[in-house]
């Protein structure tokens, strides 16, 4: 399946697919365009599958920004934009099924739980000094 077919498909996703989709949007559009298009696609997908409450704006945006950061760093280091397979190989921390735990470096659990965090993007509220990225 090519990238365009992948973006427009309407079936259930595996975890890695949830990350490939924003990766593809980020490769095709500037950050704000990718953010808008990907968010709308996720909302439509959740609604089409009878689970409109499944969409979580803070988690969606946070992962999109994390993927962009990793993509830009990898592009800078390699001198070119990586393919999805190259990106996936270099960013196994994001592809791990438990990768939602990475958001714990940026958010307290109680920040992501309320309905408000599902509806609007909440800025990270965890002090990153000494947290995450292997720091202790």
Confidence of residue 135 (pLDDT cuts 50, 70, 90): very low
Average pLDDT of every residue of the chain: 83
64 neighbors 40 (Cβ within 8 angstroms): no
**Structure confidence at residue 46 (pLDDT):** 87
Provide the token pair at 62. Answer: 């946070």
Which of 25-39, 63-77, 86-100 has the weakest average pLDDT?
86-100
Confidence of residue 18 (pLDDT cuts 50, 70, 90): confident
Q: Can you tell me the mean pLDDT for 67-74?
A: 94
Coil, helix or strand for 32?
helix
128 versus 96: the higher-pLDDT residue is 96
Confidence of residue 101 (pLDDT cuts 50, 70, 90): confident
- Kindly list the distances between the CA atom of residue 53 and the CA atoms of 7, 42, 47, 49, 63, in Å, as whole numbers in the listed order: 21, 11, 8, 11, 18
Between the two ends of the chain, the Cα-to-Cα distance in Å is 42
Phi, psi of 33 (to 5 degrees): -65, -40
Distance between CA atoms of 48 and 95, rounded to whole angstroms? 25
Distance between CA atoms of 55 and 58, rounded to whole angstroms? 9
| Whether this model's pTM surpasses 0.85 | no
Note every long-range contact of 112-120, with CB atoms under 8 Å and residues 24 or more positions apart, other chains counting.
112/56, 112/58, 112/59, 117/56, 117/57, 117/58, 117/59, 118/53, 118/55, 118/56, 118/57, 118/58, 119/57, 120/57, 120/58
Phi, psi of 72 (to 5 degrees): -65, -40
């Amino acid at each position: 399946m090519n990238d365009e077919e992948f973006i427009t498909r309407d079936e259930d996703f595996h975890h890695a697919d949830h990350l490939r989709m924003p990766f593809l949007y980020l490769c095709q559009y500037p950050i704000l365009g990718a953010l808008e298009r990907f968010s709308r696609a996720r909302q439509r997908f959740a609604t089409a599958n009878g689970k409109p409450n499944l969409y979580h704006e803070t988690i969606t945006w946070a992962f999109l920004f994390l993927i962009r950061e990793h993509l830009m760093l990898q592009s800078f280091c390699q001198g070119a934009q990586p393919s999805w397979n190259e990106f996936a190989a270099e960013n196994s921390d994001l592809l791990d099924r438990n990768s939602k735990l990475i958001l714990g470096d940026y958010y307290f659990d109680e920040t992501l739980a309320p309905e408000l965090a599902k509806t609007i993007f909440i800025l990270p509220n965890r002090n990153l000094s000494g947290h995450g990225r292997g720091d202790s």
